[in-house]
Structure 1
Amino acid sequence: MYRKDNRPVACVYSSEAGVWGNLISTDARCGLVDANPGILVGNVLYWSSKSVCDGEGLWGLDRLTNDIIEFDLDTHSLAVIKGPPCLNNSLRHQIIKADDGSVGLTVVFYGRFEMWQRKIDRHGVATWLNHKSIQMHLVLGLSHQLERLTRWIQIMGYDEDNGVIFLHVDASVYMVQLMSMQSKKLYRSYTPNYRCHPFTSFYAPGTVCAFKNYVALFIIPFLVDAMELRCCTICRMTVWLHVIMCSNGSTGNKIFEI
């Protein structure tokens, strides 16, 4: 949440004590990027951000910057850090957990993937390193000629536990394992304006078996965003589950109400 001057504030709730902590703030003026949900890396939460200049309201922003909001759950500190310069004017990026467990970024351009990693030296100086760049048509299995015609690319979701990102490219949805850069085309979709909140297993009370395939949870944005805290009570919500059977490639839909 934000103060009236667009400075972010955070507050930690203890489920054991049942109380909220003190408000934690930072002097930086910025806003969250709704298209990029927060990611937990280690014990630190990260969100993509956009700066607010003097005389410019939060809703009047027309461009993004390379800022990242960082909240440390151990020290309860809130800060705004700089990301790599390639983030400017781009929504096609995702904060990720790098191979060594540190924070990283994947940036999707029309022709390639770029993988960035944040390194901190012994003096505490942070540097972003571009440690991988690969042509998109090689990852997704597209012909080079077809890849040039691609006009729509959207990052739909990210599974930080397994390093898997979900992309909507033109009329198809792909799953990409970022460490190996192996991909799988999941299904065709002509409706790109939704977010995917993937999880790999769940269980019902009284059972011990786990569902080990990917389940993508799509929630209509104007109803509710499951990744953001809203100060309201939701009495009813319609959820569409698209079940992706990774072992055999089959899919299925389930609709239920909460």
Structure 2
Amino acid sequence: MEPPNRVPEGRFSLQLDDGEGARFLLIGCHQGLVLSRHRLLNQLLVWDPVTGDQHRFARPLGFETLGPSVHGAVLRAAGDVHHFQVVLVRTEISEQHSRAIARVYSSETGIWGNLMSTPLPPKASNSLLLFPPRINTVFPGVLVGDSLYWLLSGITAGILEFDLGRQSLSVIHVPVDIYARGSSHFTVMRADDGGLGFFFLSRFTAQLWKRKIDSDGVASWVMGRTFEIDKLFSLNSLKWGGVLTIRGFAEDNNVVFLSTATSLFMLQLESLQLKKLFDTTIVGFYHPFESVYAAGTGIGGGHGGPELLHNT
């Protein structure tokens, strides 16, 4: 297609043959693929907006109801651009125990893998919150290395890790007391060394943390940089909108999206370059779409998997 609009804008408007496009809710985007769930039916949808390829398939046992405790992510299968994997995670609460569970779907086989689980930490002693621990569904999962990460909130705060290579779940503590800072915002991110990072924002003060592992294999959080966003960029206009809020994170480019009451900004966390994107009063989370497309690539059904649909 001719530049500058090499991909038509209409490709990013989900259109389905049965007219059900408006009934799918976005879960997240990774590696040029979009994962959505149907509002009413027991269905998930993986969509490649560049090629138009679409796959619909049923959710697995244990995930029939996608409520506030459930999240997920879609990834292209390692070394194979024609197939993908979907990871679903959720928290499960009972009087006896609380745990996080996960299952993985492969488009190559068309089946869901075995259920995996890990116990959730007990309630923090200084927490006054009464609702049970759950995955924060406002923030999509973040891919760092060979693991996916989601924020946990509720009576205890933490980070849920799913290791794709080991096919295992674990919980990591957060580096700051997120409930003792008043109005604050935070997200999991990729650190400048390629490892797990944590972006913490309290009003206009930003902290960048990174997780380090010492020679004995012990992991701990280390403070990276701290800076005042409004002072660093002399953007007094930011104060007109009050407190900054995190609205999205683009992991491939290590960019965080921030909003005031009137505008949306993009901050590159390595160069600390800040750019105003546009004025808006719409409150919501933005899902950045990052993709590199090579001719001939696409996602296929394979081995009895879902039928491949072509959008024109």
Calculate the TM-score normalised by the size of structure 2: 0.56
- Given candidates 128, 141, 163, the residue that maps to 1:72 is 163
Offset of residue 10 of structure 1 = 0.2
Over 3 Å counting, the alpha-carbon distance change for 1:86 and 1:178 in structure 2 is: farther
For 2:234 and 2:290, the matched residues in 1 are separated by: 24
What per-residue deviation string (whole Å, max 9, x for no partner) do you get for residues 180-226 of structure 1? 1110111111122x11111245769889xxxxxxxxxxxxxxxxxxx
For 1:46 and 1:131, the matched residues in 2 are separated by: 20
Structure having greater relative contact order (Cα 8 Å, sep ≥ 6) = 2
Once the two structures are superposed, the pairs formed by residues 159-174 of structure 1 within 5 Å of their partners are 159-174=250-265
Contact 2:101 2:116 survives alignment (8 Å): yes
Over 3 Å counting, the alpha-carbon distance change for 1:17 and 1:200 in structure 2 is: closer
Larger displacement relative to structure 2 (89-98 or 114-123)? 89-98
Aligned to 2:172: 81
Contact 2:184 2:203 survives alignment (8 Å): no
For 1:76 and 1:9, the matched residues in 2 are separated by: 12
Contact 2:186 2:198 survives alignment (8 Å): yes
- Given candidates 203, 220, 223, the residue that maps to 1:130 is 223
The letter of the residue matching 1:151 is: G
Q: Is 1:100 matched with 2:175?
A: no
Contact 1:139 1:181 survives alignment (8 Å): no
Q: Is 1:178 matched with 2:291?
A: no
CA RMSD after TM alignment:
2.6
Offset of residue 149 of structure 1 = 5.9
Aligned to 1:9: 101
Over 3 Å counting, the alpha-carbon distance change for 1:204 and 1:171 in structure 2 is: farther
Contact 1:33 1:47 survives alignment (8 Å): yes
The letter of the residue matching 2:247 is: M
- Given candidates 12, 15, 21, the residue that maps to 2:113 is 21
For 1:175 and 1:135, the matched residues in 2 are separated by: 15
- Residue segments in structure 1 that go unaligned for 5+ positions in a row: 53-64, 208-258
Offset of residue 138 of structure 1 = 3.1
Contact 1:66 1:85 survives alignment (8 Å): no
Contact 2:252 2:290 survives alignment (8 Å): no
The letter of the residue matching 2:179 is: N
The letter of the residue matching 1:190 is: T
Over 3 Å counting, the alpha-carbon distance change for 1:140 and 1:74 in structure 2 is: same
The letter of the residue matching 1:8 is: A
Query: Aligned residues: percent identity?
Result: 39
The letter of the residue matching 2:270 is: M
The letter of the residue matching 2:225 is: K
For 1:203 and 1:102, the matched residues in 2 are separated by: 26
Q: Is 1:198 matched with 2:288?
A: yes
Offset of residue 34 of structure 1 = 2.1
Q: Is 1:48 matched with 2:151?
A: yes
Contact 1:35 1:91 survives alignment (8 Å): no
Q: Per the alignment, in what secondary structure is the counterpart of residue 137 of structure 1?
A: helix
Calculate the TM-score normalised by the size of structure 1: 0.67
- Residue segments in structure 2 that go unaligned for 5+ positions in a row: 1-89, 122-132, 298-312
Offset of residue 91 of structure 1 = 5.7
What per-residue deviation string (whole Å, max 9, x for no partner) do you get for residues 35-79 of structure 1? 222101011010110254xxxxxxxxxxxx441111101111111
For 1:179 and 1:86, the matched residues in 2 are separated by: 24
Offset of residue 169 of structure 1 = 1.6
For 1:131 and 1:168, the matched residues in 2 are separated by: 23
Once the two structures are superposed, the pairs formed by residues 216-235 of structure 1 within 5 Å of their partners are none
What per-residue deviation string (whole Å, max 9, x for no partner) do you get for residues 64-121 of structure 1? x441111101111111111102433666111111111100011111131110000011
- Given candidates 21, 25, 35, the residue that maps to 2:138 is 35
Over 3 Å counting, the alpha-carbon distance change for 1:91 and 1:35 in structure 2 is: farther
For 1:122 and 1:202, the matched residues in 2 are separated by: 37
